[in-house]
Amino acid sequence: MIFRRRLVTGACTLLAALTLGLVPTGVATAEPTSDKDAPKVELTLDVSGSMRKRDIDGKSRMAAAKQAFNEVIDAVPDEVQLGIRTLGAHYPGEDRQVGCKDTRQIYPVGPLDRTEAKTAVATLAPTGWTPIGPALMAAADDLEGGEGSRRIVLITDGEDTCAPLDPCEVAREIAAKGINLTVDTLGLVPDAKTREQLSCIAEATGGTYTSVRRTDELSDRVSQLVDRTADPIAVPVATEGAQQCSEAPRLRPGLYTDREKFGQHRFYRVDVAPGQELRASVSIGADRAVDNDYGVLLRAVTVHGREIVRGSEAGDGRTDLISTGLRYPKAQADDDEDEDEDGESAKETVCLQVSNSFSAPASVKREPGLPVELTIDLVDGPDEASDVASFGLGRGWWLLGVLALTGLLAGLLWGWLSRWNDAARRTN
């Protein structure tokens, strides 16, 4: 359900961005050419005692997971570096403190030896506790290094048993690091509490949650997630906006991620050359409970604070994502315009201000901030002749005046003709 809602929301946002022409044309990912860029996946499997239950295709949950793992391992793309981590697989006792540390990496993240990976999984047997939070923290450490996409695929049949370490808060901390790591969760025959917790973990990192009740569903879904890591649509770059424009990071065309507190303003800078058009859009996700009535504002201002153009959007009720965008075409340089040392017309620094009006009950945690995704693109600006059509009436007031004058003259002419016609009839 969560995955479908996020997919619909994302599709609607993308359609709106395409309509406005705000999706950057220069964002793309190339095939990895080195280990540094190789995509990484860590399959994190729950091996707690509850995995003994026999309710998936007439066999135990553990047996279904092993079968699915073997099928997935056979299909992993060659360019993907894969690792396997367990939770609750080694300590069978009742000591909570020990049981909540029971997470181990049984196959290191790296080039895949399919035989060794299958052997590591074959010996697993349902054993102990369900320390999801500690397992996520360790898996994030396992995936450190490199610049490729990273993904944790968590498979479990129950909620975490090691509170007060909240796995949803752990996922938010992972997302706040800005390390391009997504956590996808799969619940085996889940109950309501498990669904809620796994959905929260996935949403905090931009991942997906899937409920699984059959072996083929599990293998198919894990394979899809591994393939998605190998061929991502775009790799966002982590950045950190500033409280004022003069200290803001300078961004180039691309896709960026950040975090913003409730009611906060953050600034970013973009250099726009004469004849270019700046296209920017921002999306803020509500990854926790928020009050009704909220909005997002994206402003382009000069370094002196004068507003150039803005985009805004408001929402009400439960919405996963709220987005807005703007366009700013910079006019071609005049012949006598100042030039820089290289003889080229000086670029204009445009400050992008991202603001939100989210609020939340006092019980909702404020840290980390809400996830922000910012897209930047610079394209050739519109021709002067098509200025109005491509950028509204921002530079077309002369046309509005002509249309108003034409309407006035037409009205006067029509009135004169009507009176002349009435007079002619009376004469006759």
Do 237-389 and 21-230 fall under one CATH topology? no
Q: pLDDT class for 319, splitting at 50, 70, 90? A: low
Identify the bridge partners of residue 284 per DSSP, sorted by sequence position. Answer: 322, 372
Question: Of 201, 271, 260, 206, nearest to 232 (Cα)?
Answer: 206
- Contact at 8 Å (CB) between 224 and 238? no
Q: What local confidence, expressed as pLDDT, does residue 381 receive?
A: 72
Give me the phi and psi of 400, to 5 degrees please. Answer: -60, -40
Q: Which of 31-45, 81-95, 153-167, 312-326 has the highest mean pLDDT?
A: 81-95
For the chain, percent of residues with pLDDT exceeding 90: 46
158 or 20, which is more confident?
158
**Tens digit of pLDDT for each residue in 168-217?**
999 988 887 767 789 999 999 888 889 889 988 988 887 888 888 899 98
Q: How far apart are the first and last CA of the chain?
A: 78
Sequence-separated (6 or more) residues with CB below 8 Å from residue 196: none
Rounded CA separation 7/245 (Å) = 34
Could you tell me whether strands 348-356 and 370-380 are parallel, antiparallel, or unpaired per DSSP bridges? unpaired
Judge whether 214 and 220 are in contact, CB under 8 Å.
no
Planar angle of CA 209, 37, 223, nearest 5 degrees? 35
Q: Is the pLDDT of residue 143 over 60?
A: yes
The average confidence (pLDDT) of the chain is 81
Note the CATH architecture for domain 237-389.
Sandwich (2.60)
**What integer pLDDT is reported at residue 10 of this predicted model?**
43
Statement: residue 26 has pLDDT above 60: no
Q: Using 50, 70 and 90 to split pLDDT, how confident is the model at 235?
A: low
Class of domain 21-230: alpha beta
Most confident of 74-88, 280-294, 386-400: 74-88
Q: Look at phi and psi of residue 21 and say left if phi exceeds 0, alpha if psi is from -120 to 50, else beta.
A: left
Q: Distance (Å, rounded) from C-alpha 70 to C-alpha 84?
A: 12
pLDDT at res. 402:
66
When pLDDT is averaged across residues 151-155 and rounded to a whole number, the result is 96
* Average pLDDT score over residue span 344-364: 88
pLDDT band, residue 17 (cuts 50/70/90): very low
Give me the mean pLDDT over the 268-283 stretch.
Answer: 92
| Distance (Å, whole) CA 91 – CA 131 | 11
Confidence of residue 290 (pLDDT cuts 50, 70, 90): confident
What pLDDT, on a 0 to 100 scale, did the predictor assign at position 51? 95
CB atoms within 10 A of CB 373: 18
Angle between helices 215-230 and 61-75 (to 10 degrees): 30
Domain parsing of the chain, residue ranges? 21-230, 237-389
C-alpha angle 372-1-82 in degrees, rounded to nearest 5: 65
- The residue-averaged pLDDT of 298-316 equals 91
Confidence class of residue 21 from pLDDT cuts 50, 70 and 90?
very low
Check residues 313 and 394 and name the one with the higher pLDDT. 313
Dist. CA 85–CA 108, nearest whole Å: 8
Buried b (16+ CB within 10 A) or exposed e, 158-179: bbbbbeeebbbbbbbbbbbebe
Per-residue model confidence (pLDDT) at position 90 = 93
